[in-house]
Structures are given as structure tokens and as C-alpha cells.
């Protein structure tokens, strides 16, 4: 299976999941998570039409962006953020899915180039309440969401989660439903949010069933990482 074959297969899985849930075709965007895969793998995906790529490491994203100029790539940063790396993210990325601190959000807003559109932001939520996972606890989300929504260089778009691994479909749905309900609460508080970044290779169908608008897929497109 080539990267193109894999992208086509994932696309078919997404379209089938949308149809089963009576959601419009193409309402779920595919983010190709290319972390720890070489530039050649991204070139293969670009050649079959993929434009949105997710990266976890700032330096790696910047190097890939420099190696692939002028291709209309939309870079999504999805990894942990250190405050000394915010400038590179603010300059390179179109989206950041892993914001969980006001200090980081303020720096991203200040460092976003004035000529660029606002940086699209999702707040990361620790939806399964795992000690080891990053992300906000649900009770902290509303306060930070309102603060981030007020920052001029940022556009708050929604929420992101990485639930605890779970193989059972209905149990997968429980975590995703919690994120959706949190999003609905924020919309009820007046925030205009349109993005639920949830679902990975093993649980994307459950995420689509609970309203995911973007799934983040690595292994099922590019194979195992080193």
C-alpha cells in the first residue's frame, strides 16, 4: 500500500462514517500527522492532494516547511508547547491544537505576524482525566476559552482531545461525547466555535459519530514511526 492508497482508504472510511451518521459528505477534514516521517513522505501525500499536515515537534515542522515552500501547505501544530518555541509556531503554523495555558496563548497572539490571518486555536482537554496526559481539566476550559477568544492575533476555533486508548466503539464514543458537550456549553456561553479536533487511526469512526470536524491520522497514512 502506498501513501496515496492509504489516503484514499482513509477518505473512504471518513465518507462512509459521515453517511452512517447522516452528516454531510466532506464535513470531516483529514489532518495527515506526519511527525517523524521524512519530507519524501509528505511529498508523496502532496502529490495525491493532501494539504493539511500535523506536526508535534517545532523544529521538525519548521525544517519541513522550509523544505516544501510554495505548495499551499497548511501546518497544524499538535504537540506540547514550550514558551521559547512560540515564535516559530506563530510564524509557521496556521493552526495550533494543543493550547492549554494563557501564557502560551498570549505569546502566540503577540508573535503572530501582523500580515498573517489570525492563528486558529483549539484548546486541548484532558477528557479522560489521565494523570500523565496534557490538557486542561474540563472545569478549567471555559475561563481559558473566553480569555483566548479575546486575544487579537488568535481565532479560537474549538477543542481537541486525545482520549485514553479504548477499543470498544461505544466506550470510545463516551469520551468524544464529553468533548462535544463541553463545546456545546461554550457555544451557549456565546463563543463561536466550529471545530472538534478528535479521532485518530483507531477511533476515528467513533469521533465522527460524536461530531468530529477534523480527525488526526498518522500511522494509517504513513505507516509506523521510527
Ligand X SMILES: *Cc1c(COP(=O)(O)O)cnc(C)c1O
Q: Which of 81-102 are b and which e, b meaning 16 or more Cβ less than 10 Å from the residue's Cβ?
A: beeebbbbbbebbebbbbbbee
Q: Quick one: which segment of 81-89, 106-114, 140-148, 214-222 binds ligand X (CB under 6 A)?
A: 214-222
Taking CB under 6 A as the rule, does residue 33 contact ligand X?
Answer: yes
Please choose, from the candidates 43, 23, 47, the residue with its C-alpha nearest in 3D space to the C-alpha of residue 34: 43
Q: How far is CA 15 from CA 9, 46, 53, 212, 223, in A?
A: 10, 20, 19, 13, 21
The window from 67-75, 82-90, 111-119, 210-218 that contacts ligand X (CB under 6 A) reads 210-218
Decide: is 133 part of the binding site for ligand X (CB under 6 A). no
Q: Is 216 in the site for ligand X (CB under 6 A)?
A: yes
Q: Which of residues 188-207 bind ligand X (CB under 6 A)?
A: 200-201
Pattern of binders to ligand X over 148-177, x per CB under 6 A? Answer: --------------x---------------
Q: Is 62 in the site for ligand X (CB under 6 A)?
A: no
Strand pairing of 214-217 and 29-33? parallel
Q: Taking Cα atoms as reference points, which of 122, 149, 123, 127 lies closest to residue 138? A: 127
Residue 6 or 183: which CB sits closer to ligand X?
6
According to the binding rule CB under 6 A, does residue 78 interact with ligand X? yes
121 binds ligand X (CB under 6 A): no
Give the shortest CB-141-to-ligand X separation in angstroms.
17
Cβ–Cβ contacts within 10 Å for residue 71, how many? 10
State which residue, 158 or 218, has the beta carbon closest to ligand X.
218
Binding to ligand X by residue 94, rule CB under 6 A?
Answer: no
Q: Which residue blocks in 1-136 are alpha helix, DSSP H?
A: 3-20, 39-47, 58-67, 86-92, 102-111
Other C-beta atoms within 10 Å of 169: how many?
11
Q: Does 4 contact ligand X by CB under 6 A? A: no
Summarize as ranges the residues that interact with ligand X (CB under 6 A).
Answer: 33, 35, 56, 78, 162, 200-201, 216-220
Amino acid at each position: 500500500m502506498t501513501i496515496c492508497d492509504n489516503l484514499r482508504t482513509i477518505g473512504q472510511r471518513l465518507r462512509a462514517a459521515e453517511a452512517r451518521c447522516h452528516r454531510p459528505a466532506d464535513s470531516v477534514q483529514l489532518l495527515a500527522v506526519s511527525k517523524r516521517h521524512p519530507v519524501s513522505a509528505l511529498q508523496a501525500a502532496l502529490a495525491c492532494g493532501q494539504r493539511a499536515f500535523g506536526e508535534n515537534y517545532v523544529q521538525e515542522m519548521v525544517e519541513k516547511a522550509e523544505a516544501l515552500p510554495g505548495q499551499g501547505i497548511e501546518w497544524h501544530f499538535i504537540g506540547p508547547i514550550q514558551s521559547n518555541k512560540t515564535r516559530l509556531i506563530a510564524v509557521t503554523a496556521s493552526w495550533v491544537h494543543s493550547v492549554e495555558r494563557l501564557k502560551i496563548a498570549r505569546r502566540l497572539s503577540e508573535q503572530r505576524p501582523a500580515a498573517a490571518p489570525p492563528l486558529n486555536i483549539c484548546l486541548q482537554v484532558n477528557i479522560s482525566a489521565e494523570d500523565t496526559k496534557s490538557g486542561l481539566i474540563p472545569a478549567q476550559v471555559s475561563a481559558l476559552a473566553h480569555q483566548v477568544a479575546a486575544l487579537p492575533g488568535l481565532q479560537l476555533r474549538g477543542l481537541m482531545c486525545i482520549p485514553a486508548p479504548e477499543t470498544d466503539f461505544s466506550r470510545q464514543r463516551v469520551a468524544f461525547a464529553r468533548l462535544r458537550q463541553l463545546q456545546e456549553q461554550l457555544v451557549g456561553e456565546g463563543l463561536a466555535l466550529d471545530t472538534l479536533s478528535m479521532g485518530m487511526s483507531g477511533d476515528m469512526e467513533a469521533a465522527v459519530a460524536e461530531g468530529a470536524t477534523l480527525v488526526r491520522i498518522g500511522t494509517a497514512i504513513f505507516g509506523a514511526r521510527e
